[in-house]
Chains A and B, each alone.
Chain A
Amino acid sequence: MSVMQANLVKTTAPAQRLSGGRMLMIGAAVVIAVAMLPLVLSTYQIGLATEILIFGILAMSIDILAGFAGRTSLGHGAIFGTSTYVVVYTVSVVGLSPALGLLLGVLAATGVAAIFALLAVRTSGVYFLLLTLALGMIVWGICLRWTPVTGGENGLRGDVRSGILLEPRIFFWMVLAIVAVLSFAIWRFVRSPFGLTLRGIRDSESRMRSLGYNVPLHLFIGFLVSGFFAGIAGGIYAFFNNFVSPSTVALTQSVEGLLMMIVGGVGTLFGSFVGATAIIILENIVSSYTERWQSVLGLAFIVVMIFAPEGIVGKVRAFLDRGRKSKA
């Protein structure tokens, strides 16, 4: 068993390169630095930064599965959006308090993730991709056609964010605090013994099975945890937009989260924030200059995939590693 663990640790060395203590210190420094941003940014830029944090968590939740369990999901947009729908619905239609709405939203998203997981954990590779895609489309279809509840094409509107949170800076800090805690939780999760079994499954399912692990159960729990985090991101998104429509649960949402994760670097976790930053900022700048902004984004992805297939953070790491080796 201990040999096994040591072996696993070796194969996933990059994520473990820095000691936990140093990682935490760097993390705390980054959070403090990011917390200073609202002091220099305009209201609109604070809004963008908030959105980056929210989508960073979505991308990170996808990374739990893609980077650590080797399962690429195209259904996380739907899980994310389910939470958004439930929050907006419970707050604006039912009239619950936003905090309770958020709780229900996260529960609903985790529930949807459980259903997805039950159906998808026995598959892998392209089958997993297609199955999650199909399940996501079902959620989208329900949101689009169940008009009396979801408002159909028009979606739902409401004042989810109210009171002190209307001040963009305070909202940003609140989101940052939540995101910091969540990132730490996700980071701890993938480094935990349970997280290591996920990596074991990624590297060799049959080996894990012959070692006596219940592979589907581990994947199920991994999926559930991933869905839980995506749900929190979706719930916060409801606070951010005060609005939800089928485009929030659509395939494009899943794809966007996936692309952010890939651009940042699969399996790097914090690369998700780099990817989210790059994509959201690029979208916003380019689309004001040309209506062909989607082509520009497409080209940017191609360039990233050719020159840095391991993602931005992955590339930076590789550089640093090379530097270290040549010194040694």
Chain B
Amino acid sequence: MDRRAFLQTSSLSLAAIGVGLSPWSRSAAQGAPIKIGLMAPLTGVVASGGREMVEGTQFFLEQNKNQIAGRKVELIIEDDGSNPDVSLQKARRLVEQSNVHFLIGDLLANTGLAVSNYVKGTGTPYFIPIIAVDDLTQRQRIKNVIRVAGYSASAFTHPLGDWALKQGYKRFVTISQDYSFGHEQCGGFVQTFTEGGGEIVQQFWHPLNTSDFSPYLGQIADMKVDAVFAMETGADATRFIRQYADFGLKRKFPLIGAMNTTDQAVIRTLGAECEGIISPAHFAEGSDNPVTQKFVKEYNEKYKKMPSLYGFSMYSGIMWIAQALEKIGGKVEDRDAFIDSVMKTELTNSPLGKSVKLDSYGNPIYDVYIRKVVKGPGGKFWNVPTETYPSVSQFWKYDPETYLKQPTYSRDFQGIKKKG
């Protein structure tokens, strides 16, 4: 009896989805809309970033009247739940049920890796403006996974290490979140800094969602270092910066962060305690570049806040794809031509205010700013560029092939140069 009940419920409900969604499937003819599958964490630990990802994407599409290369755009948004199993499920749904032409989005590294592994089999183009895992454009490159308008984790901290040496800093202590994004960002900094003669006194790794940093800050206070490097994201960044100031360390050691540490998503909730923190990035909302300022102003008018990394990257990422599609007359169905066109497209008119190219691994080559948090007009804090490293490759100044022979940055491998 139960089996029969099972059959009835399951077949009825399966039939219900079938009826609900079938009218949309199989209509890929020219003139039909370009279907975009956007995945963002709308629930779970990084939901606030996820919402800004959706905003950034929608903002671009609205400005372009929902059209790319003369074709209407149908944006299908799915919540990846900040969870790799869910993101995989949703990717399947978008590709197999909604028949999207390409996927874009995801925030957490594990969700991006899960979806990449899936599209490796299906060949669906997948764009990752937020996922920073080094290996997706390095050691485990997949042809149809492209980091439009994103960055690989260690790309910006390589020049930061160089910058720190130029400031005359000799000794650093690092504190980072204990997961791959932290290992990679910190590793980039540590490698160039130690190779240039700098010394890392100690490295702290703390779990995600640490509420109390006093065990670490207490130790740092007694160290003989010139400055502190901190890799933090989200709520951890907010708490760290607050507690760093509360401990009086702000007056003692300059704080140098990774890009996310002073992202607008973090510092918009902070006051004077974030002033003066240095971080490297391709985007600085406080840049005096007129194109950047226009974008910041428009974004501010629309969403009542300055754009964060999430909003900016998705906006520029979808813009990049749009420009690539323009070049091939909107023929998104021809995957090879589409991917080829994206790889060759030089992004222009983006909020960066300068054009950007992809390297042959599908990672963008940016001018990297060294930014400082200062009080902007209206009393809100923002990141202002103080120096620029032009055309920084994800391989820094190393030869790509040699670089790829070294292991991926991890807790155990930070690229620290052994003292001969």
Contacts and interface: CB of A to CB of B under 8 A. Distances in A.
Interface of A: 18, 26-27, 29-30, 33-34, 37, 40-45, 47-49, 51-52, 147-148, 152-155, 157, 166, 241-243, 245, 247-248, 265, 268-271, 273-274, 277-278, 281, 284-285, 287-288, 291, 293-294, 312-313, 316-317, 320
A278 B84 CA distance: 22
B13 A288 contact: no
Contacts of B14: 37, 41, 45, 48-49, 281
A157 B79 contact: no
Interface stretch (B109-117, B251-259, B353-361, B388-396): B109-117
A155 B117 CA distance: 12
Given A30-B7, A243-B88, A154 B113 contact: yes
Contacts of A155: 84, 110, 113-114
Interface string B5-24: 11101110110011010000
Contact of B1 (A18, A37, A52): A18
Identify which of A154, A155, A241, A277 gathers the most chain B CB atoms within 10 Å of its CB: A154
Given A37-B14, A274-B2, A277-B13, A47 B96 contact: yes
Which label, helix, strand, loop or mixed, suits the secondary structure of the A interface? helix
A277 B5 CA distance: 11
B363 interface: no
13 contacts: A34-B7, A41-B14, A42-B96, A44-B95, A47-B96, A153-B208, A281-B17, A291-B42, A291-B43, A293-B79, A312-B5, A313-B2, A316-B2
B377 interface: no
Interface of B: 1-7, 9-11, 13-14, 17-18, 20, 25, 42-43, 78-79, 81, 83-85, 88-90, 92-93, 95-97, 108-110, 113-114, 117-118, 121, 133, 179-180, 208, 410-412
Given A153-B110, A154-B180, A247-B85, A270 B79 contact: no
Contact of B18 (A41, A51, A291): A41
Contacts of A273: 6, 10
A44 B110 contact: no
A30 B6 contact: yes
Of B90, B92, B109, the most chain A CB neighbours within 10 A belong to: B92
B365 to A, nearest CB: 25
Contacts of B109: 153-154
A293 B77 CA distance: 14
A295 to B, nearest CB: 10
A317 B1 CA distance: 8
Among A41, A52, A243, A281, chain B packs the most CB atoms within 10 A around the CB of A243
Contacts of A52: 10
Contact of A247 (B83, B96, B121): B83
A157 B117 contact: yes
A268 B97 CA distance: 33
Contacts of B5: 274, 312-313, 316
A10 to B, nearest CB: 20
B27 to A, nearest CB: 14
B10 A277 contact: yes
Given A148-B412, A155-B114, A44 B93 contact: yes
